[in-house]
Chain A
């Protein structure tokens, strides 16, 4: 029983971690983290403005499905 509970809680944690990662990717938080890492920057209004400027063209050409 205890093993089952442990297994269940670890599966739940994994599932929540995946959902969190999916949401961070959909909402571009991961893309921003990659940008900061690539440019060796820390987060700031300037860094975020640069990220938006860089990703703008790519985002502008991304269609939304019907």
Chain B
């Protein structure tokens, strides 16, 4: 790794200025210099072939027509296919033109440059891999519960705001972030985001990135656990199914190790069949009082069990359980997403939710806060997610064979994840609005009793009756669907609705519902155990600087202490959510969205800094525009969450309201939680403001010529596969 002074931009636009100065002149390099290493300006906007012009004009017209239909239709229900067509056309045009422009003009992708997978190939971390395989691998790593839950929660504003934000956010923000961070990591031997922040922005940049990452991990895990708790509380069917995945995973582990070593796909198919059996068995468990009672758990009991699970997954040698569960959850996740896509296209359901609801004024029952900025922090994954920058600077850059493939993997995989978010919007909006609000509203807002809750929701203009909700609960095999906050149950009902209309009708509604709950809970638990281990390693790395033995991953006391620290941190947020009379999601999901978007802010700061240092300042708007938008969104959302006088929005206002109320047991704890949330938000925002100021000062110094730009790329090495490329 060397630091190279950035020269003034040379005349030919074919090679990046950095590579012309730094790399060794080899014969291959000269060959490379004689040909454009990336698509030329002409190919960026080609349109030379009439067929191409007609096809892309058709895509643009279909996209514009669909977006116009979504945006302008009022008072009538619309078909979900308008959303699907709008999304497909937007991503196609974004990929074909915008990502190609970025590849050619901004990043100057160089197919002749050897990637770390080639130079450092070791058959383990660094492996040259087929681009479609890397694409699938990357997509499987970035697709989690976020793009399913966020859009379901944001549907309280109507289908329009979430859909438009998902489309625009992904095309101009999320896809761009993933693409540029992946490429910059490839050019730096697969370095992580925190390492790049440290080397390109400074030590403060590295420190802030580290704190942002650990904060988002802690808050994410707390929120994920809360979603599982809310989905499984008082649900013997769901709890039984999830409990059964433990013996199934152990069985898979034994099969995989002893009977068919390495046959993971085969084992996962077997595990999947057993899970289907467990879902069917869940029906029996819920209808057998003696068994059902054992699996009917309260939220606090479930929270304790999940905390114990997280600690065990991090601190104990339970690899026989975790590895097969990981494979199983990936298998179920990919299969279910594919099934949902097919179901939506086959059924073409109608959206019952209006385009905009009255709750854009900030009085929403699911979470409080105005459309701006809260719709944009509620939907993070699916539009732009800082967490993706960790994956794009983690495993993926070590598998890329050609720089030019980063476009398809980085930009393309995020576009696919964004499509998953659109499917979640559809799943939530096919529900009758009254049903959606009855499921997602906490008892603290709509009331505890079914009659009271339905009367409140009906008074908002979304008619629903207690009898409707009772029969829906019976159809899905639950005792009640009221106050199931967190997004997962509403998504499951929507998904069951779509699936049951495609296969099995009402008779299979309960099976589909619990299949959806199992699917969400299973892979959220995988996120939970993987995240807890990653968090433990991060704390160990940091504490190792304070006292060396604490950094040793093989020293068991260190493993126990650090596991307890990370589990204690997210467990605290989980407990706070479980005890929150407003359901927890109202406070915690915006906090998670803010921290996720702040991490994206750090990633885009790093990207903008590198682009400016590369001598490409005139194209810096590519990352500066989403960065500016995210700064506006996250800073205003943080301000509202801390200082808003409405107790449902502002943490401090809520603490003051509690302090003024008659003292009851546990009130001091609730006040402390509010102040803690306010402090966490404030610390995150101050640190990101520091990194922004430091980056901006750097940009100004470079652009004013007061500082020599230094990019810390790995020196150019020509690929050994040049002939393969040219062929």
Contacts and interface: CB of A to CB of B under 8 A. Distances in A.
Given A22-B133, A63-B534, A66-B387, 15 more contacts: A21-B130, A22-B135, A23-B136, A26-B330, A27-B264, A27-B265, A34-B123, A47-B261, A63-B217, A63-B390, A64-B144, A64-B523, A65-B143, A65-B387, A66-B380
Nearest to B213: A63
B571 to A, nearest CB: 18
Contacts of B533: 60-61
Interface stretch (B77-85, B366-374, B467-475, B524-532): B524-532
Given A23-B265, A65-B146, A45 B258 contact: yes
B179 interface: no
Interface pairs A-B: 3 shortest CB-CB: A22-B136, A48-B261, A27-B264
A2 interface: no
A46 B571 CA distance: 38
Contacts of B334: 26
Contact of A61 (B133, B268, B323, B534): B534
A21 B268 CA distance: 16
B646 to A, nearest CB: 27
Nearest to A60: B533
Nearest to B130: A21
A56 B319 contact: yes
B373 to A, nearest CB: 19
B140 interface: yes
Contact of B265 (A29, A48, A64): A29
22 contacts: A22-B137, A23-B136, A23-B265, A25-B129, A25-B134, A27-B331, A28-B327, A32-B264, A33-B262, A34-B123, A34-B127, A47-B261, A48-B256, A48-B261, A48-B262, A60-B533, A62-B141, A65-B381, A65-B527, A66-B144, A66-B146, A66-B220
A28 B133 CA distance: 12
A51 to B, nearest CB: 7
Given A34-B127, A60-B537, A66 B527 contact: yes
B140 A26 contact: yes
Interface residues of A, number: 39
Contacts of B480: none
A43 interface: yes
Interface residues of B, number: 57
A26 to B, nearest CB: 5
Contacts of B395: 62
B385 interface: yes
Nearest to A38: B123
B136 A25 contact: yes
B576 to A, nearest CB: 19
Contacts of B132: 18, 21-22
Contacts of B145: 66
Contact of A64 (B125, B264, B527): B527
B634 interface: no
A63 B391 contact: yes
Contacts of A48: 256-257, 261-262
A58 interface: yes
Contact of A26 (B123, B137, B220, B258): B137
Nearest to A33: B262
B319 A52 contact: yes
B596 interface: yes
A28 B527 CA distance: 18
A34 B399 CA distance: 14
Interface in B98-130: 123-125, 127, 129-130
Contacts of B264: 27-29, 32
Contacts of A62: 141, 394-395, 530, 534
Contact of B330 (A27, A37, A52, A54): A27
A33 B124 CA distance: 11
A5 B124 CA distance: 40
A65 B531 CA distance: 9
B524 to A, nearest CB: 9
Contacts of B146: 65-66
A61 B537 contact: yes
Contacts of B669: none
B141 A49 contact: no
A57 B553 CA distance: 10
A24 interface: yes
Contact of A29 (B123, B262, B537): B262
Contact of B323 (A30, A54, A59, A65): A59
Given A25-B133, A49-B257, A65 B262 contact: no
B261 A44 contact: yes
Of B137, B141, B264, B394, chain A has the most CB atoms within 10 Å of the CB of B264
